[in-house]
Amino acid sequence: MITQRFVALALIGVLSSPLAALGQIKGEPFRIGVLETTSMAMNTINFDAFRRGLRELGYVEGQNLIIEYRSADGRPERFGELANEVVRMKVDVIVTRGTPAAQAVKNATGTIPIVVAAFGDPVRSGLVKSLSHPGGNITGLNTFASEIWSKRVELIKETFPGIVRIGHLDNLSNPLVPPSRQEIETAARTVGARTQFFDVRKAQDLGPAFDAATRQRADALLVGIDTVPLANRKVIVELATKHRLPAIYAAREFVDAGGLMSYGVSYPQLYYRAANYVARILKGAKPGDLPVEQPTRLELVINLKAAKALGVSIPRIVLLRADEVVE
């Protein structure tokens, strides 16, 4: 009787453990396919947050989880082939970032669940039917990619009141750029500034784009977070310093590379939250039933070392509003 009770209790313990919830009783680890814009080395902070989220939910790489990481290395034209490669791996879930990569994955599979760690504008781009009911095989986390450009315009103007020409450096072929451009132009008119747009579709476009910005006497830059700028953020920061162009970036990653200031969502937090979507899907949830999550916090990060290198000063009123000041 004691033996039977012990066996029953042991069985209950097994069934309630994270391993059982993860499907470990079947003996096969889950496989997550990852399609990224940059290499693992350049994406360490974000991906560490993703792994941490998975570990807290009981999913441990090398034990009950295999992660297949593929990177376009800053070349968006590679998304299609890499998406097909990930699909051929027969993964359980695909995790990706950004609209171009998400579109490539969605084109490659209509059945494998897809979690987008950072959507630009998923409804406008046709990736989901609605934020509350995405439908299909894709869901994830929104970044307010288009809507917050107006705030970046206001911030750069408040930081440098004398600017009259604001340049926008981005891959203009990205489907999110047209609505972003409208936001930027409207906001610039409101603060009495003019806009200039510089197209960078490959790394080789960066030098000529900065030369054009100098010729056109741009006073400051807004830098987007498309694949090309993100993968070449160190080069962009160096060129901005060389040309003495203060810039506000769309992600903290640029500030970590030495950039002046950034305003936007916390990408590590989005990746951390993406782990929750993956866990729910692995436990049986359908991605089309999981609402797209909206960001709850935007952060302003300012780099005083970069300001010194550019020969500019940041007004105290702006510094007081910063979530973090890097010295």
Q: Domain of 89: which CATH number?
A: 3.40.50.2300
- Helix residue ranges per DSSP H, the chain: 2-16, 18-21, 44-56, 79-88, 99-108, 149-159, 177-190, 206-215, 227-231, 233-242, 252-256, 267-282, 304-310, 316-321
- Same domain for 312 and 183, yes or no, is yes
- Same domain for 126 and 206, yes or no, is no
pLDDT digits (tens, 9 = 90+) for 60-72: 999 999 999 999 9
pLDDT at 293: 94
Q: From CA 16, how far away is CA 94, in angstroms rounded?
A: 27
Q: How many CB atoms lie within 10 A of CB 5?
A: 9
Lay out the sheet containing 114-119: strands in order across: 65-71, 30-36, 93-96, 114-119, 138-142
Residue 310 has pLDDT above 50, yes or no: yes
* Position 297 confidence tier, pLDDT thresholds 50, 70, 90: confident
Q: From CA 149, how far away is CA 185, in angstroms rounded?
A: 10
Average pLDDT over residues 190-204: 95
Question: What is the radius of gyration, based on Cα positions, of the chain?
Answer: 22
Residue 46 has pLDDT above 50, yes or no: yes
> Which amino acid is present at 278?
V
Q: From CA 317, how far away is CA 299, in angstroms rounded?
A: 16
* Residue 154 main-chain phi, psi, to 5 deg: -60, -40
- Same domain for 208 and 290, yes or no, is no
pLDDT at 26: 52
Domains contained in the chain, number: 2
Top pLDDT among 113 and 20 is at: 113
* Structure tokens that stand for 9 in this block: 């209790």
- Same domain for 179 and 277, yes or no, is no
Whole-Å CA distances, 257 to 117, 238, 261: 21, 9, 11
Structural domain boundaries enclosing 274: 2-143+267-296
Percent of the chain residues topping a pLDDT of 90: 81
Mean confidence (pLDDT) of the chain: 90
pLDDT digits (tens, 9 = 90+) for 230-282: 999 999 999 999 999 999 999 999 999 999 999 999 999 999 999 999 999 99
